[in-house]
A = this chain, B = another copy of it.
């Protein structure tokens, strides 16, 4: 059986640091943010997104199944950190993660990594694109 040479999908791996802790335990805000990502990129949700709040720090996990693959969100209020994975089996335009996560979560540093899935000739992974908010808030 031949190895494939096609690309099966693109995954964006986002780590947003220096976020405002109270926003990272705000489930309604995070649900709205994930809905905005889905809407802006024209993605299609399958079934019901799953959300869970983890006491005592009230970190939140959200998993959304998409007809294009999936969107995952995990927050860590105690670290000021939110992480996202957006896996799309079809090519999509980039979402403005840096600007949106600064606005919505108060992120000070947003690391966006893009990983191609299913293509053996494309590892190691490309280096990160980093946007850092310079101005103090």
Contact = CB atoms under 8 A, between A and B. Distances in A.
Interface of A: 1-4, 6, 8-9, 11, 13, 15, 17-18, 46-47, 50, 52, 54, 61, 63, 65, 67, 69-70, 72, 74, 76, 79-81, 83, 85, 87, 89, 108-109, 111, 113, 115, 117-120, 123-128, 130, 137
Contacts of A79: 4, 6, 8, 118
A17 B3 contact: yes
A118 B127 CA distance: 15
Give 3 closest A-B pairs by Cβ, nearest first. Answer: A124-B127, A123-B128, A125-B125
Contact of A4 (B52, B80, B85, B89): B80
A50 B111 CA distance: 29
